[in-house]
Amino acid sequence: MKGPRLLLIGALFAAFILGLYRSAVPRLQAFAIAAYHDQVVKRMVKSKESLVTGPGFRLGLYRPELPYHFQKVFEVEDSLDARVSIISFYQAWGEGKAHDLNRGLLDNIARGGYVPMITWEPWVSAFESHKGASPESSLVMVAEGEFDGYIRAWAREAVRFGRPMYLRYAHEFSNPWYGWSSKYGNDEATFIRAWKHVHGIFREEGARNVAFVWNPYQPSDTLFYPGPEFVDWIGLDVFNFGPVAENGYWIGFSSVLQGLYRSVEGFRKPVMVAEAGSVSEGGSKEEWYREMFRDLASGRFPLVKALVVFDNPSSKAPNGLPVDLSMTSDSTLYARLKAEGLVRKLGIPPKPR
């Protein structure tokens, strides 16, 4: 009897050890991964300071096919003999891989020598738990931590990417198109709380490489400014929809920019024109873009250190009508910009040889 009993005790002990091992290994692996992230990965992150205080003027491009296909970027660089620095694209909050921070895409952008700028849109209705829900006061949920797991996962992936990048979070916060806008009850105090909360999570995770871009929609949006320590760049959007817009008329680049610029220049932050585009109806699109380069090169807007062209041939006017806002649709523009030397006057570096 002694032998079988010892065998049974031995088997039970072995099963106990095996169970302990199986339960301990995942915890040990998680601990090792977290320790490596904290002690190694975070320390390898490159600071965003090169984006904030670096010299020169940055040219950027948004295209609907970016960041997957770069043919238009190469065409712009070849045509202007100018370096495109910023690759702009948009990503909505939500569940599933399509809403995660895709580090493979960021690595691909960086391999080309470009800097990614993600316009990060907090559409909380894209989460299953809020599917179909009204966006009313959605930023309250952000500020109170309901989406911390999602935000933290993004911050950690940004750390793993490790190179400087722009994050243009909750842009145009008084534009009624957007669920995080003041139209849906997201007042100034709520917006600022939510902004600081998101910024704080990125700071906690060690995302020193992320430059936050605060992007108002109209001059009165200065009430939504979260404070200098929470903002790295200010983005401004400059569009001319001409007569396509309801009660619209042709309006020059500087006429749009001037009011926005004056409202934010007191913050003394570097400014980027984060979106810029014009229709052709009602005037000369070529002249509008030439005016854009001339005015930025004139020194009238000294805080503007970057320009991102919104090169979208299938966009929409504020009234929902389809419009072509692409700069690349005008075949004569590049030659004129080069002939006038406007790219060099602006300080955009030449295309790398």
The burial of 41, by beta-carbon neighbours within 10 Å (0-12 exposed, 13-18 middle, 19 or more buried), is given as: middle
Residue 67 preceded by cis peptide, ω within 30: yes
Q: Is the pLDDT of residue 22 over 90?
A: no
Residues 6+ away with beta carbon under 8 Å from 94: 123, 126, 127
Clarify whether residues 319 and 189 are in a common domain. Answer: yes
Q: Is the pLDDT of residue 6 over 70?
A: no
Tell me the residue range of the domain where 17 lies.
Answer: 1-44
Cα 173 to Cα 234: distance, rounded to the nearest angstrom: 13
Clarify whether residues 131 and 17 are in a common domain. Answer: no
Residues 6+ away with beta carbon under 8 Å from 293: 337, 340, 342, 343, 345, 346
- Of 330 and 68, more confident: 68
Q: Is the pLDDT of residue 266 over 90?
A: yes
Clarify whether residues 33 and 68 are in a common domain. Answer: no
**Neighbouring C-alpha atoms within 13 Å toward the C-beta of 88:** 24
Among the ranges given (3-7, 82-86, 245-249), the one the predictor scored with the smallest mean pLDDT = 3-7
Confidence of residue 38 (pLDDT cuts 50, 70, 90): low
pLDDT in tens, 280-310: 999 999 999 999 999 999 999 999 999 999 9
Residues 6+ away with beta carbon under 8 Å from 272: 58, 60, 213, 233, 234, 235, 236, 304, 305, 306, 307, 308
Q: What average pLDDT score do residues 231-243 get?
A: 97
pLDDT in tens, 140-181: 999 999 999 999 999 999 999 999 999 999 999 999 999 999
- Phi then psi for residue 240, to 5 deg, are -125, 110
CB 303 within 8 A of CB 261: yes
CA distances from 186 to 141, 181, 190, 191 (A): 11, 6, 6, 6
Clarify whether residues 57 and 15 are in a common domain. Answer: no
Cα 253 to Cα 276: distance, rounded to the nearest angstrom: 9
Residue 294: CB atoms within 10 Å: 18
Quick one: how far is CA 216 from the chain centroid?
14
Share of the chain above pLDDT 90, in %: 76
Whether 31 maps to a domain, the answer reads yes
Look up the pTM and report it.
0.89
Confidence of residue 27 (pLDDT cuts 50, 70, 90): low
Whether 352 maps to a domain, the answer reads no
Clarify whether residues 62 and 33 are in a common domain. Answer: no
Total domains in the fold of the chain: 2
Q: Is the pLDDT of residue 32 over 80?
A: no
Clarify whether residues 62 and 5 are in a common domain. Answer: no
Q: Is the pLDDT of residue 270 over 70?
A: yes
Clarify whether residues 21 and 83 are in a common domain. Answer: no
Among the ranges given (18-27, 170-179, 306-315), the one the predictor scored with the smallest mean pLDDT = 18-27
Cα 5 to Cα 302: distance, rounded to the nearest angstrom: 87
Clarify whether residues 40 and 170 are in a common domain. Answer: no
The confidence score (pLDDT) of residue 33 equals 42
Cα 6 to Cα 11: distance, rounded to the nearest angstrom: 8
- Residue that is written with structure tokens 């020598």 in the block: 113
The confidence score (pLDDT) of residue 10 equals 66
Among the ranges given (31-35, 64-68, 114-118, 241-245), the one the predictor scored with the smallest mean pLDDT = 31-35
Q: Is the pLDDT of residue 9 over 80?
A: no
H or E element that contains 50: helix 49-53
The confidence score (pLDDT) of residue 31 equals 47
Share of the chain above pLDDT 70, in %: 92
CB 109 within 8 A of CB 101: no
Among the ranges given (19-28, 161-170, 214-223), the one the predictor scored with the smallest mean pLDDT = 19-28
Clarify whether residues 16 and 88 are in a common domain. Answer: no
CA distances from 341 to 81, 174, 299, 334, 344 (A): 11, 37, 15, 11, 6
**Neighbouring C-alpha atoms within 13 Å toward the C-beta of 177:** 11
Clarify whether residues 98 and 17 are in a common domain. Answer: no
* Sign of the C-alpha dihedral computed for residues 334, 338, 340 and 344 taken in this order: positive
Confidence of residue 42 (pLDDT cuts 50, 70, 90): confident
Instruction: For residue 113, give the CATH number of its domain.
Output: 3.20.20.80
Cα 251 to Cα 79: distance, rounded to the nearest angstrom: 27
Q: Is the pLDDT of residue 30 over 50?
A: no
